[in-house]
């Protein structure tokens, strides 16, 4: 009988010690669950999507024109539970090609809760003007001298040219090899008419078209207004340079 009582006492002590020990991890688990319910993490995939949309919007490109690699997020800490909004803005005067850094302001229910930094290498593809043949110094670019080709511009200078009509009529500053991407610093405006050149003066109004021979009194660039002289009446006029043979009087 006494032996049984001793056994019961030992069992009671044993269970009394074990119950609190088992309850403590449960309390910690409940505490962690409560924390998880009041906080949330912003997935990297969502930040990457925001990064991509920002680039497409500001570069005015389709997603197929942009490749993002080596994407990294810095200081992406949990934020309180609630409705999340993310606003991106550049870090200084950031070029949106090559190595790009953007700041992201994360708000919950309209209140800013965290600021993270998004870093990536960005390859941007677009059509650029290239020389279709070797071009010599002081040569005037004509149709057929250039063509458009889609290239990765991330490693190119910012003054690349993407439209053929922006280089036609310009002068090459120095020799350029065939297939070279043309850049703004390689070109300069060149007068296409010079003082003393003979041109056709064109005038149009209400379907009526009149042409007379004329003499250029000033050097002129394409699209520029210059003085010309009617070779028949000797009257001086202002006309717009159309090409090296024609000027047009605007009414």
CATH code assigned at 214: 2.30.30.760
Residues 203, 169 share a domain: no
- Name which residue leads in pLDDT, 9 or 125: 125
pLDDT at 82 over 50: yes
- Name which residue leads in pLDDT, 182 or 190: 182
3-state secondary structure of 132: coil
Residues 119, 61 share a domain: yes
Q: Is residue 2 part of a domain?
A: no
Supply the mean pLDDT for the chain: 85
Residues 138, 88 share a domain: no
Q: Is residue 159 part of a domain?
A: yes
List beta partners, residue 131: 146
CATH number at residue 131: 3.90.1210.10
Q: Is residue 107 part of a domain?
A: yes
Cα angle 235-237-243, degrees, rounded to a multiple of 5: 125
Neighbours of 175 (CB within 10 A): 13
pLDDT digits 0-9 by tens, 117-133: 999 999 999 999 999 99
Residues 183, 129 share a domain: yes
Count of domains for the chain = 3
- Short-list 113, 32, 49, CA closest to 76: 113
Domain containing residue 140: 125-189
Residues 133, 118 share a domain: no
Neighbours of 28 (CB within 10 A): 9
Domain boundary among 98, 124, 150: 124
What tokens appear for 41 in the block? 């993490």
Residues 84, 116 share a domain: yes
Q: Is residue 72 part of a domain?
A: yes
What tokens appear for 35 in the block? 């924390």
- The residue with tokens 């994407």 is 71
pTM for the whole structure: 0.60
């Amino acid at each position: 009988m006494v032996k049984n009582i001793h056994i019961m006492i030992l069992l009671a002590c044993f269970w009394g010690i074990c119950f609190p020990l088992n309850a403590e991890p449960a309390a910690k688990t409940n505490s962690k669950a409560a924390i998880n319910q009041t906080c949330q993490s912003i997935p990297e995939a969502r930040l990457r999507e925001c990064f991509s949309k920002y680039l497409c919007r500001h570069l005015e490109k389709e997603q197929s024109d942009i490749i993002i690699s080596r994407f990294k997020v810095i200081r992406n800490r949990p934020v309180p539970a609630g409705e999340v909004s993310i606003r991106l803005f550049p870090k200084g005067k950031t070029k949106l090609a090559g190595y790009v850094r953007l700041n992201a302001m994360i708000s919950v229910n309209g209140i800013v809760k965290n600021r993270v930094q998004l870093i990536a290498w960005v390859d941007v593809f677009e059509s650029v003007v290239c020389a279709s043949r070797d071009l010599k110094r002081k040569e005037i670019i004509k149709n057929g001298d250039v063509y458009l080709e889609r290239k990765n511009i991330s490693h190119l200078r910012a003054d690349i040219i993407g439209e053929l009509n922006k280089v036609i009529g310009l002068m090459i500053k120095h020799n350029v090899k065939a297939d070279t991407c043309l850049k703004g610093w390689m070109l300069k405006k060149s007068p296409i008419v010079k003082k003393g050149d003979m041109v056709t003066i064109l005038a149009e109004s209400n379907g009526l078209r009149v042409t007379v021979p004329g003499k250029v009194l000033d050097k002129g660039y394409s699209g520029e207004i210059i003085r010309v002289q009617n070779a028949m009446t000797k009257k001086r006029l202002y006309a717009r340079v159309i090409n090296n043979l024609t000027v047009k009087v605007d009414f």
